[in-house]
Amino acid sequence: MPGAFWCIVEDDRQGNPKKVMAEVVGEASRLAGQMGAQAEAVWLTDRAAPEGVKLLGELGAKRIWLLENAAFGAYRGEVWTPVVAELAAKESPQAILAPVTTRQREMMARLAARLGAGLSADSTALALEDGKLVATRPVYAGKLLSRV
């Protein structure tokens, strides 16, 4: 089976995924389905509410990597990134998606650098073409759209 499409969970710091995760998990599920893979959520938190975990499953995550530890209470890129990078190196996801938030922007840049992977920030559309993920993103202050 091809590698999964991962979603890095953004939560409300009260133990529940933010509303934007419906979009991220939904897109990962759509793309994964086209490749015969599955969507999975990776959630680093100091506390996950049971209903938050259940919600991720309802949104389409077939597996939830719940990494619950006091060290994940406040975001610190130097703590979070190596943990996700180690898991990604072990599990080899097809792609890693995340919502556009300050925390995720910073962590995804760190993660891409650590994994030697490409990064498409602020993507407005994702598609699979010949088995490759193609992102559409704005350039030149949104005056053009670029496919990468």
Return d(Cα 107, Cα 125) in angstroms, integer.
Answer: 21
Cα gap 65→9, rounded to integer Å? 10
Mean pLDDT throughout 55-83?
96
pLDDT at residue 47 tops 80: yes
Select the more confidently predicted residue: 11 or 142.
Answer: 11
Report CA-CA distances (Å) from 117 to 34, 54, 145.
22, 30, 22
Mean pLDDT of 70-75: 93
Q: Order of strands, edge to edge, in the sheet holding 5-8?
A: 63-68, 39-45, 5-8, 95-97
Q: Which residue has the tokens 């030697």?
A: 116
**pLDDT (mean) for 11-25:** 95
Averaged over 113-142, what is the pLDDT?
92
Please give the pLDDT value at position 142: 85
Mean of all residue pLDDT scores within the chain = 94
The class of domain 5-119 in CATH terms is alpha beta
Percentage of residues of the chain with pLDDT beyond 90: 87
With 0-12 / 13-18 / 19 or more C-beta atoms within 10 angstroms meaning exposed / middle / buried, residue 114 is middle
Domain residue ranges in the chain: 5-119
